[in-house]
């Protein structure tokens, strides 16, 4: 059984809905989730918030947060997940923001740096990852980590 199928089974068992707000993965997370037949039972949709304008205007990220911490930060990942949960009307929202490469690095933020966000109920979390592949590999790795974290979260959820 694939990771996406396991997530689908867990969401069905727990009666939860899922959405995603993606930046650097560009829809890979949503693509993988919707490859599962019957995913419409629990998956409601996504937003691709690639630019800062869409992160703030659609996904609900504060412009102050973007200015203070930058688009690739745990704060932005968390606000994307929280905003997506409200925007999409879902129980759980996962989000990503990162630097896929080969360009885009800044002082203190290397190519391959990603932050993932997960929001459910009153709780929101973020995780930092540093990948070392090329652009495509970094995007694939971030999508895989987001889905693995989601499965772990759902498995531990009472």
Tens digit of pLDDT for each residue in 16-63? 999 999 999 999 999 999 999 999 999 999 999 999 999 999 999 999
pLDDT at 7 over 90: yes
The percentage of the chain sitting over the pLDDT mark of 90, rounded to a whole number, equals 97
Tens digit of pLDDT for each residue in 83-110? 999 999 999 999 999 999 999 998 889 9
- Per residue, the 3-state secondary structure of the chain, as one string, reads CCHHHHHHHHHHHHCCCEEEEECCCCCHHHHHHHCCCCHHHCEEEEEECCCHHHHHHCCCCCHHHHHHHCCCCHHHHHHHHHHHHHHHCCCEEEEEEECCCCCCCECCECCCEEEEEEEECCEEEEEEEECCCCHHHHHHHHHHHHHHHHHHHHHHCC
Domain count, the chain: 1
Mean pLDDT of 144-154: 98
- CATH number of the domain at 133, please: 3.90.950.20
- Give me the pLDDT at residue 152, please: 98
pTM of the predicted model as reported, rounded to 2 decimal places: 0.97
- Give me the pLDDT at residue 158, please: 85
Q: State the residue range of the domain holding 15.
A: 3-156
Mean pLDDT of 55-77: 97
Average per-residue pLDDT for the chain: 97
- Give me the pLDDT at residue 147, please: 98
């Amino acid at each position: 059984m694939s990771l996406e199928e396991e997530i689908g089974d867990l969401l069905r068992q727990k009666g939860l809905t899922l959405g995603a707000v993606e930046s650097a993965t560009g829809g890979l997370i949503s693509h993988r989730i919707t490859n599962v037949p019957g995913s419409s039972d629990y998956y409601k949709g996504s937003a691709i918030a690639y630019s800062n304008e869409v992160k703030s205007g659609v996904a609900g990220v504060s412009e102050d947060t973007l200015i203070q911490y930058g688009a690739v930060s745990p704060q932005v990942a968390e606000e994307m997940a929280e905003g997506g949960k409200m925007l999409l009307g879902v129980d759980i929202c996962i989000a990503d923001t990162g630097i896929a490469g080969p360009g885009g690095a800044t002082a203190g933020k290397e190519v391959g740096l990603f932050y993932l966000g997960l929001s459910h109920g009153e709780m929101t979390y973020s995780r930092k990852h540093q990948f070392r592949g090329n652009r495509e590999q970094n995007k694939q790795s971030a999508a895989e980590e987001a889905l693995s974290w989601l499965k772990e979260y759902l498995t531990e959820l009472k």
